[in-house]
Amino acid sequence: MEQEVWQRRVNRERAARNEAEAFLESKSRELYLANQKLTKMADAWRYENEKNQAILDNAAEGIVTFEADGNIATFNPAAERIFGISIEAAMLRNFDELFDDIRFGDGAEIDSYVLDEAKEYCATDANGNTRVLNVALTKAESNRAISFVAVIQDRTKKRALEAQLAVAQKMESVGHLAAGIAHEINTPIQYVGDNTRFLQEAFDDLTGLLGLYEKLLFAVEQGAATDTVINEIQKSAEEIDLEFLAEEIPQATEQAINGTGRVAKIVRAMKEFSHPGTEKQVAVAINHVLETAATVSRNEWKYVAEMETDFGEDVPDVTCYVGDLNQAFLNLIVNAAHAIEKRQENEPEHKGWIRISTRRVDEQVQLIFSDNGCGMSNDTKEKIFQPFFTTKPVGQGTGQGMSMVQRFIVERHSGSISVQSQEGAGSEISILLPVIPPR
Amino acid sequence: MKGVVFTNLFELVESEFGYETLDRVLEKCELENDGAYTSVGTYTCGELVQIVSALSEELNMPIPDLIKFFGGYLFGQFFNAHADMLTEYTTAFDLLLAVEEIIHVEVKKLWAHAELPTFEYERPSDSELVMIYQSTRPFADLCEGLIQACVEHYDEPIEIRRENISPDGTSARFHLCLTC
């Protein structure tokens, strides 16, 4: 009996051992397969990693990642070229320290820089040069951590070229306006000249008369006869029409002063308009900028339209790149004039008007340019901001005007533009400019 | 049910009641595998219930008492096997509070598919600990045996009060109170 018990025990132990060995074999196989799978995954991960690294290394854009505390984690070679610092140096810095105008404070402000669209910031590179960088910042949230990815395009050269282009376009405008300006100056100069000549002749006449009066004074002092001299004086006064001169000289003087004032105003406006401007934004009276644009373009619109202005007295100074706004306003006025001119080709009796109004809307200034020109079709309205789109004949339009207006107002000043137009009736361009440009 | 539970039960029966007793029980159960269990295997819970029932009958000991007794034995076995990991816990409360978040996590590393009970904890005061046991298996008695052995291991004056949440032993509330 005891032997049977022991035999059963041995059988159970043997069966248990066999099961354990089978289990071990099965686990060994599972382990092998898991190892194979892991090896494949590691290879795939390594491949992906190498691929991602190659993309990072060869990307034309700077790619920088950083953690929620701002510490830089990834800094690709393009970023090294842009900022002029090595990856090792970058890893010791916070992302905001790379830029002149990005500050995270205690880190809570990072989210405010995460925008739907890329935005331009300035950075000073290792050589002390200012770079204009277009930064698209995105937030990457995972279960483990929050990190940020910045894709950075160096727009320094592009901006420099754009600035040169803007100067060239401004000079083109100046050239285009020159004939009109010359004409504008010629009219007052002509009547200044006429009046000055009149004053010169009047002065000659009066000098002759004064000579006779001196002769009379001498005769009186000597106690000599004066009848002859008095007759000469009366005759001369009649000849030079002294009464007329007394009346006309003050008027001629006033007209000459007005004429030179008019010339001075045009020259000042042209000088302001053609000034290359500064790379920094300055606070300017926007109504004055509009007056300048209207003055320099006067010869473009005065034959086709009346200019009406309604400038709000409470409009505050706007911090802006004044050269950009000069150009944008000029383009809008000239476009309005051309639209009226086009309408007058079919309706010669049509009396054109251009109205410019300004008013304060909270922390913004609204500028409305309206005209009763030919208006735009819906198709044209959709395309007006596209570069090189124009409805004007060759030689009159390059298709840059409205595209430039959009760039100057929207991109450079964070403003907005809305267009309303009715074909055959006129157009209204409404601009909103922030008084203080956002960060 | 992990085979380690079966092999530990067999060791207990062998050491306390002799191999013949275990042999009789296993023969009586007419198990499919003839009672051959390995600690690394996985078996049905029904087999354990069948063996425990037969053992209870053989020893003339109520099943709850037998399971609690086994729980106490199991605690000693587990503690000795993993002493290096468990010595960092210096009180019964420390160890019991680590069951869900630490010990069960370690068990899962070894036995990824192990079906473990879950514990919820309440601390009404520093001297009280409430453990709410929940399982798909009716082993609240085994849990009680383990808790009891843990308290005895640390030799602390802790009073254990059990309150069944379900009558089948799949969930229970253990209120442990340090009495001085």
pLDDT band at B95 (very low <50, low <70, confident <90, very high): very high
- pTM equals 0.49
**Residue B132: which of B122, B142, B123, B141 has the closest Cα?**
B122
pLDDT of residue B15: 92
What number is the ipTM of this complex? 0.73
What is the tens place of the pLDDT at every residue in B118-138? 999 999 999 999 999 999 999
Query: Is B36's CB within 8 Å of A23's CB?
Result: no
Would you say residue B146 has pLDDT above 90?
A: yes
Chain A residue with the nearest C-alpha to that of B42: A23
Res. A380 pLDDT band, cuts 50 70 90: confident
pLDDT, one tens digit per residue, over A54-108 is 999 999 999 999 988 889 999 999 999 999 999 999 999 899 999 998 888 776 6
Instruction: Output the pLDDT for position B144.
Output: 96
Select the residue of A9, A20, A23 nearest B23 (Cβ to Cβ): A9
pLDDT tens sequence across A290-311: 998 998 889 889 999 999 999 9
- State residue A395's pLDDT score: 63
Share of chain A above pLDDT 90, in %: 49
Q: Does pLDDT of A396 surpass 90?
A: no
Q: Is the pLDDT of residue B160 over 90?
A: yes
Write down the pLDDT at residue B25: 95
B36 contacts on A by Cβ (under 8 Å): 11-16, 19
Q: What is the pLDDT of residue B180?
A: 63
Report the length, in residues, of chain A: 439
Mean pLDDT of A349-360: 94
Which positions in chain B touch A16 (Cβ < 8 Å)? 36-38
* Mean pLDDT lowest among A98-107, A335-344, A414-423: A98-107
**Average pLDDT of span B98-104:** 94
∠ CA(A421), CA(A424), CA(A428), 5° rounding? Answer: 25
Tell me the mean pLDDT in the region B9-16.
94
Confidence class for position A126, pLDDT limits 50, 70, 90: confident
Asked whether the beta carbons of residue B34 and residue A12 sit closer than 8 angstroms, the reply is yes
Report the range of poorest mean pLDDT among A101-105, A196-200, A221-225, A277-281. Answer: A277-281
Smallest Cβ–Cβ distance between A8 and the set B23, B38, B41 belongs to: B23
Instruction: Assign A141 to helix, strand or coil.
Output: strand
Quote the pLDDT of residue A183. 79
Per-residue pLDDT at A386: 78
Flag the least confident range among A124-128, A157-161, A398-402.
A398-402
Least confident of A299-308, A342-351, A391-400: A391-400
Q: By CA distance, what is B110's nearest residue in A?
A: A27
Question: Average pLDDT, stretch A266-294?
Answer: 82
Give the Cβ contact number of residue A92 at 10 Å. 10
- The pLDDT of residue A166 is 74
Average pLDDT for A29-41: 93
Buried b (16+ CB within 10 A) or exposed e, B136-156: eebbbbbbbbbbbbbbeeeee
Beta strands in B37-168 (DSSP E): 118-122, 128-134, 158-164
Q: How confident is the model at residue A277 (pLDDT cuts 50, 70, 90)?
A: low
Continuous H helices in A2-119: 2-58, 77-83, 87-91
Positive/negative CA dihedral, A94, A99, A103, A108: negative
**Closest by Cβ to B38, choosing from A11, A23, A27:** A23
**Number of neighbours of residue A362 by Cβ within 10 angstroms:** 9
The one-character DSSP state at A134 is: E
Instruction: State the smallest CA–CA distance between residue B48 and chain A in angstroms.
Output: 16
Task: Name the 3-class secondary structure at A61.
Answer: coil
- A13 contacts B40? CB cut-off 8 A: no
pLDDT of residue B10: 94
- Nearest CA-CA distance, residue B167 and chain A, Å: 35
What does pLDDT average to over chain A? Answer: 88
A 320-339 residues with CB < 8 A to B = none
How many CB atoms neighbour CB B55 within 10 A? Answer: 25
Say which residues have a Cβ less than 8 Å from residue A146's Cβ, sequence separation at least 6.
A67, A68, A139, A140
Instruction: Please list the residues that pair with A126 across neighbouring strands.
Output: none
Are A19 and B35 within 8 A, CB to CB? no
pLDDT reported for residue A59: 93
Mean pLDDT highest for which of A131-145, B99-113, B125-139?
B125-139
CB atoms within 10 A of CB B113: 7
Whether the predicted pLDDT of B109 surpasses 90: no
A82 with A125: CB under 8 angstroms? yes
- Alpha-carbon distance of B147 to A360, in angstroms, equals 78
DSSP string, B21-51: HHHHHHHHHT-TTTT---TT-B--HHHHHHH
Chain mean pLDDT for chain B: 93
What is the predicted pLDDT for the residue at A218? 93
Positive/negative CA dihedral, A99, A104, A107, A111? negative
Sign of the C-alpha dihedral computed for residues B133, B135, B141 and B145 taken in this order: negative
pLDDT tier at A397, thresholds 50, 70, 90: low
Q: In this structure, are residues B68 and B145 in contact, taking their beta carbons and an 8 Å threshold? A: yes
pLDDT score recorded for residue A76: 94
Position with higher pLDDT, A277 vs A193: A193
Strand runs labelled E in A79-171: 119-124, 130-141, 146-154
For residue B1, give the H/E element and its range. Answer: none
